[in-house]
Structure 1
């Protein structure tokens, strides 16, 4: 028997494309050699690789945590790398279940919280399945459910298909499960695009003169309006806002919609900020990244291509492409120089003295560079963890790009803790301080009161 296999044979064996097999050969994941223009793969190496894949699969399992007396119970969905969950834990919740389909995130959860129940694709489970996995009896009250359904369906950077997208459907599944499990409170976390995404998209060429008026579902915000209608009919009250995590102590300006839903029918208050941009409300000012990035001994990071490094070597902390000599700006930007928009993410060095911009899932993409303030490289995974406030010892599974993705998609810990702290106060029926007039984000009409008023005007034409 031959000790080598062809690329085609390996692709069939692994059920992946031939191109992917070649990539694995180049990366050294498969022991191989090139004969002429073709790769051949060592059979023993293929067997080892298959065993490694099998070991990396994390199976669903039940909760093995002991019940903690007097600790409120929380269940987590779309858990990712557990950023929101860690914040909820800090506030005092006992998280008994995580639900996550992504294989690398599942490995991360299993590495760090092996005794928390773990389930996969939310569409595969009933409310009874969830109670069983979390080891919660039907007569036990669930205090909190938290979840950030995949946001691509609502992202302003995507096609914005709302609930016509499969990822939008899991959003509805989450709401259905919440209404069936009937927790005292449940949280919906999502991107800013949720505030403006229509439920049913009408092409722009079919709008205006000669076409019928826009239906309610076709208006900006139609998707959120549909969600809120479901909540109203269920008896849950709600409040929401667009929250900048920098207002809660995160060294990062990152905005997320948080909808707080309450079973008691009382409209929940907004989250309580702990910081403000310039010290408003006598709060500490936003946290810069400078102190957060100290003392990291090892860095795992991507690299910029040499053609970009040429320009980075000319930029100081806090600068972007506009800090280059004028004669080099067009050279550095190419065709993007003539496009619209501020283009502030191109050739961007972070500032030591400000919060970081939103951490993206890939810090070396040309339009969203996240370069170290002084070193000629992107931020490292370890710096990503510090900025998103993950513990240094939080283990991340998967290749480097997957580690960036997990942290880049996470909710900052402090924002999660603010959510948990608010719900704890509500559970204890304690007073929650009001911050009337506080600027939670840089955008208008993002609080539930202002948004609903604005949507009503759009309906009226």
Structure 2
């Protein structure tokens, strides 16, 4: 039976570790996965992102958050950069004895709501290239993040198993699990599969008694306060739009609700990206009930319920619970558990801002996984 690692009860009160284990980041995007690892004391020394606006967003947001200038290291496609070039850029000829690789290959080809072309799609093939780079660079550990369709759809699961066999053939011990950000304190129902692997040579040196092919060995994060969150509480359904007196139901944790994340931003423009919002243009903005989120688009969030998956770049429109407008970029960042110090640049097109935020791993979820790796590997 799998054992879990209970995550820390209050990260805000815990000092950041300072071990600075080097990390290479692929498909970096907004950098939320990187930020979660940085918060646990890891040090991203090399990053790769092909999309120009994502690179600009990363440079702005990460620099503001980390307090020093940060830029994407390499803007080429992962297909066009081999292991020797990556190693030279990242390590400058002095490869450290211990480093990690993290990344979330583009997922539309494995998503039920996406193209569903799997390994044969343009993006789907990048997962195999990512695995190739892991096997070539041989980190001590790696993280591979993707949508739940990778394990919940038969043909995609077979593809994943083939990738795992490749990793095991290169002496990696691999484990994977579907995690929901909601169960780790994020006000969002977002399920993602996390594949974690460690080098067999490292595991043998540390007497872990593991071998390629073993499963359920990694202690994935768990927070008992939010276990089974979707069915644990009596979440409210819908309310007529515009209802003023709508108190939080007893027992529901406020930090798992949309209002707990964005309630203080309703009439505020003090923070960066607080005014970044598409203008209302449809009568639906005043007609859709609060909490009506079952339709494909024009979902109005409920103030006392968690948000559906933040997917703002996939033609979804998420409406503010109490106002006749869409969410702002700052509100979307809050729902993704990004710190208020993180911001996207003024000149970035609004559609790219929402796509950047929607594609990212919630920061709190990323940190929970990074924390589990740090504790498991004794860093």
TM-score of the superposed pair, with normalisation by structure 2: 0.75
| Residue from 399, 420, 426 that aligns with 2:349 | 399
How big is each residue's C-alpha offset from its partner over 1:286-317, in whole Å with a ceiling of 9 and x where there is no partner? 711222214332232113433323523xx2x3
Partner residue, 2:73: 118
Q: Quote how far apart the aligned CAs of 1:393 are.
A: 2.9
Partner residue, 2:336: 388
Aligned-partner SS, 1:258: strand
Aligned mates of 2:115, 2:355 — CA distance in 1: 20
Aligned-partner SS, 1:186: strand
Mapping of residues 61-460 of structure 1, within 5 Å: 70-111=19-60, 112-113=62-63, 114-115=69-70, 118-120=73-75, 121-135=77-91, 137-197=93-153, 219=155, 221-264=157-200, 266=210, 267=215, 268-274=217-223, 275-276=226-227, 277=229, 278=232, 287-296=256-265, 297-298=268-269, 299-312=275-288, 315=289, 317-319=290-292, 343-362=294-313, 365=315, 368-397=316-345, 398-428=348-378
How big is each residue's C-alpha offset from its partner over 1:163-197, in whole Å with a ceiling of 9 and x where there is no partner? 22222222111111111211111011001111145
**In 2 relative to 1, CA 220–389 (structure 1 residues): closer, same or farther, beyond 3 Å?**
closer
Q: Quote how far apart the aligned CAs of 1:347 are.
A: 4.3
Q: Quote how far apart the aligned CAs of 1:69 are.
A: 7.3
Aligned-partner SS, 1:225: helix
Q: Quote how far apart the aligned CAs of 1:415 are.
A: 0.8
Aligned mates of 1:139, 1:349 — CA distance in 2: 50
How big is each residue's C-alpha offset from its partner over 1:247-297, in whole Å with a ceiling of 9 and x where there is no partner? 111111101111011113635424222232138xxxx95711222214332
| More moved, 300-309 vs 122-131 | 300-309
Aligned mates of 2:40, 2:361 — CA distance in 1: 15
**Bigger Rg over Cα:** 1
Structure number with the bigger relative contact order (C-alpha 8 A, sep ≥ 6) is: 2
Are the aligned partners of 1:188 and 1:259 in contact in 2 as well (CA < 8 Å)? yes
How big is each residue's C-alpha offset from its partner over 1:220-269, in whole Å with a ceiling of 9 and x where there is no partner? 62211211211221111111111100111111110111101111363542
Are the aligned partners of 1:117 and 1:134 in contact in 2 as well (CA < 8 Å)? no
Aligned mates of 2:258, 2:113 — CA distance in 1: 26
Partner residue, 1:336: none
Partner residue, 1:51: none
Partner residue, 2:243: none
**In 2 relative to 1, CA 292–196 (structure 1 residues): closer, same or farther, beyond 3 Å?**
closer
**In 2 relative to 1, CA 287–237 (structure 1 residues): closer, same or farther, beyond 3 Å?**
same
How big is each residue's C-alpha offset from its partner over 1:317-337, in whole Å with a ceiling of 9 and x where there is no partner? 3245xxxxxxxxxxxxxxxxx
The alignment covers a number of residue pairs equal to 310
Partner residue, 2:237: none
Q: Quote how far apart the aligned CAs of 1:122 are.
A: 1.2
**In 2 relative to 1, CA 319–115 (structure 1 residues): closer, same or farther, beyond 3 Å?**
closer
Partner residue, 1:438: none
